[in-house]
Amino acid sequence: MNNIHPYRKPLINLLLTAPFALGLWWLILQPVLLPLIKVFAGTFLEFAFDDLDLEIAAQADKDWLITTNLLIEPAPYTQTIQTYMNLTAITLGFPILWSLCLVFYRKSTIRGLIYGSGCLLLITSLAVVLKGIYTIYYVMALDNVINQYLAEVQLIIPIETVSGFKLQFWLITGNVVNYIVVLVFPLAWCYGANKEFIDGLLENKNHMYGLKI
């Protein structure tokens, strides 16, 4: 390993630590991560949509769903509609953060992992809230939602059929936060953790941005 170029070492270490991070994520996903997200996101969603009786729950111990009772006009009764939202995939930022932390953290890895995971948990909950809001508005905007439900057609969100600025806004906001959760935050956190190393890479370029780091 000593002959490996210093730039290649972190990349190789990243490949070595990634399987462990993915395994740890899968191990604590059902008992820890998703229930915590349910607490944070569920509380907010139930507060924001108090008349809809929202619930986030595990489905057959595999995927988690947001379930809501929507009163859909002109239907004179409350109809339960299950809106599929893959919460598990949104939590993939955790193994990515852990992999990066194990590779790039130098000073206090455990503290970085704990604080980083805490912050990521809050942002992931925010992403779930935004996706939940979009899902609810989407369901409410459908013309034939009762027919779709009675035909037992699973409601998957087709982007091309969504119309209206409000829906587009929530869709785009939800997707942006999704990418921030999975990609941008883990990278930014590890940059903050090992600023000296990465700034060393950037030092020759700062004049191009006029930055004073």
Cβ pair 128, 87 in contact under 8 A: yes
Instruction: Establish if 155 lies at the interface with another protein (CB under 8 A).
Output: no
Instruction: Establish if 150 lies at the interface with another protein (CB under 8 A).
Output: no
Q: Which is closer to another protein, CB of 52 or CB of 135?
A: 135
Using DSSP, state whether 32 is helix, strand or coil.
helix
Please tell me the count of residues contacting another protein according to CB under 8 A: 43
Residues of 144-175 as b/e, b for ≥16 C-beta within 10 angstroms? ebbeebeeeeebebeeeebeeeebeebbeebe
DSSP secondary structure string, 170-188?
HHHHHHHHHHIIIIIHHHH
Which of 34-42, 43-51, 108-116, 165-173 is the region at the interface with another protein (rule: CB under 8 A)? 165-173
Tokens of 210: 């006029």
Provide, rounded to whole angstroms, the least separation between the CB of residue 178 and another protein: 10
Instruction: Establish if 159 lies at the interface with another protein (CB under 8 A).
Output: yes
What is the amino acid identity at position 127?
Answer: A
Task: Give the binding site for another protein (CB under 8 A).
Answer: 7-8, 10-11, 14-15, 18, 22, 26, 62, 86, 88-89, 92, 95-96, 99-100, 159-160, 168, 171-172, 175-176, 179-180, 182-184, 187-188, 191, 199, 201-202, 204-205, 207-209, 211, 213
